[in-house]
Amino acid sequence: MIATGDSFIARRIPENDQRAKSIKDWISGADVRFTNLEITTHQKEGYPSPFSGGTWAMAEPSVLDDLKYYGFNLYNWATNHTMDYLQGGLLATERELDARGLIHAGAGRTLAAAAEPRYVDTVQGRVALIGATSTFYEASLAGDPTPHIKGRPGINPLRYEEVYYVTKSEMATLKQISSNTHIDANEMLNRLEGFSVEGGQDELLFSGKLFKIADRSHRVRRPLKKDIERLTASIQAARRQADYVIVSIHSHEMEGMDKNTPADFLRDAARVCIDAGAHTIFGHGPHVVRGIELYQGRPIFYSLGNFIFQNDSVSYLPSDFYQKYGLRTDANVADGYDVRSDFGKKGLGVNPYVWESIIAKLAWDGDDLESIELQPIKLGFEQARYQRGWPELSDNVEVLQRIKELSRSFGTEIVVEGKKAMVVCK
């Protein structure tokens, strides 16, 4: 299996590009070749959402031909960008994926379609892919039909419950602020009128967040039970229909402001998926690499970073984008990118960790994981924003060392040898 992170592809591969050929050749030996599709592909066919995943992600459908050129045969497309152009953009992207015979999971015309396993048959065995995302706006949720109402296109969600624990004195302060500012007046009225459930004596819904009293201040997030049940049901079905089961989870959530550290609920969800029968978890989302965990002998990649990242090359953006940055709606994308980055002084473009990543190669012998090789890639950090973003095989051991350190907290040992790294699997 080959696993890559986010493919936010907005441009076509240059003709005779040796970087692409080298990666294509390196990938081609694998039976399963996975990437995460983080862009919609259509001819402006959907209405722009009032909210986006950061950039309203849209590209010409022909970029899918370039991903196919690399050799990818499995795609997750449940991300925070799936619904950037609402249902019209989703349906058009699905049409373009299907027209090319690309196997994709995580989004669809109904919740059942978004959650179901999708299969690729190889000479070495049949492999299932199940996709989900924890990062999305509520309007992105797929919905199932009833006997009278049709379903809703959208993503397969992995939601989480969130509780903030505070001390008694901190709770008293929150209650005073709530009383003085009427920040929770609607919620209080709903409780009085029976439209919302009354909370316990030691808890408070403050500005839409649930607070409870504890000895110390902290936050706890847990996967939403019904989403975990849907995920595990898909895994258990796939386990009976395939030799291997891959779960792909797109998650930007983190601990504090540390992008390198996965959220507590994501760690819980990933382990539950392994317990249910998944062979591996391919994570992505924060645009940087995260650590690798071997749980029950099976790998959890909390983030594979970027494979292609061209969020400053999207050709067309809606008025919402320009208004967000105080520009007139007749501005152009170059104006928007200039202002968003403060003329190249801030944002993802100035973070070198965004522009170096890895490709993971997993070898299996039946259910047993034999090896994991990590191949570094670079995406052109020092290039102009309209040039960077293409992956290139690299000898950058710094990204390997960083993954090694990030994996220590999970008890995972990684050996860096020369220009590659190997995860100690046994």
Please tell me the distance from the alpha carbon of residue 56 to that of residue 361, in angstroms, as a whole number: 31
pLDDT at 201 over 90: no
Q: pLDDT tier at 199 (50, 70, 90 boundaries)?
A: low
Q: Which residue type does 80 have?
A: N
Per-residue model confidence as pLDDT tens digits over 116-146: 999 999 999 999 999 999 999 999 999 999 9
Helix (H) or strand (E) holding 173: helix 168-181
Q: pLDDT tier at 186 (50, 70, 90 boundaries)?
A: confident
Predicted TM-score (pTM) of this structure: 0.95
Q: pLDDT tier at 202 (50, 70, 90 boundaries)?
A: confident
Name the percent of the chain lying above pLDDT 90. 93
Average pLDDT, the chain: 96
Is residue 365 within 8 Å of 2, Cβ to Cβ?
no
pLDDT at 162 over 90: yes
pLDDT at 197 over 90: no
Q: pLDDT tier at 200 (50, 70, 90 boundaries)?
A: low
Angle at 98 between CA 95 and CA 102, to 5 degrees: 135
Q: Which whole number is the average pLDDT over 257-283?
A: 97
Which residues sit opposite 176 in a β-bridge?
Answer: none
Q: Which residue type does 294 have?
A: L
pLDDT at 97 over 70: yes
Q: Which whole number is the average pLDDT over 384-412?
A: 97
Q: What is the pLDDT of residue 30?
A: 97
Please tell me the distance from the alpha carbon of residue 337 to that of residue 325, in angstroms, as a whole number: 10
**CB-based contacts of 363, cutoff 8 Å, min separation 6:** 1, 369, 370, 371, 372, 373
Per-residue model confidence as pLDDT tens digits over 330-353: 999 999 999 999 999 999 999 999
What is the set of domains in the chain, with CATH numbers? 2-155+244-316+347-423 (3.60.21), 160-220 (no CATH)
Name the percent of the chain lying above pLDDT 70. 99
20: left (phi over 0), alpha (psi -120 to 50) or beta: alpha
Q: Which whole number is the average pLDDT over 256-280?
A: 97
Burial zone of 250 (CB within 10 Å; 0-12 exposed, 13-18 middle, 19+ buried): buried
Please tell me the distance from the alpha carbon of residue 78 to that of residue 105, in angstroms, as a whole number: 7
Per-residue model confidence as pLDDT tens digits over 290-307: 999 999 999 999 999 999
Work out the number of other CB atoms within 10 angstroms of the CB of residue 183. 15
Per-residue model confidence as pLDDT tens digits over 16-60: 999 999 999 999 999 999 999 999 999 999 999 999 988 999 999
Q: What is the pLDDT of residue 190?
A: 83
Structural tokens at position 384? 């102009």
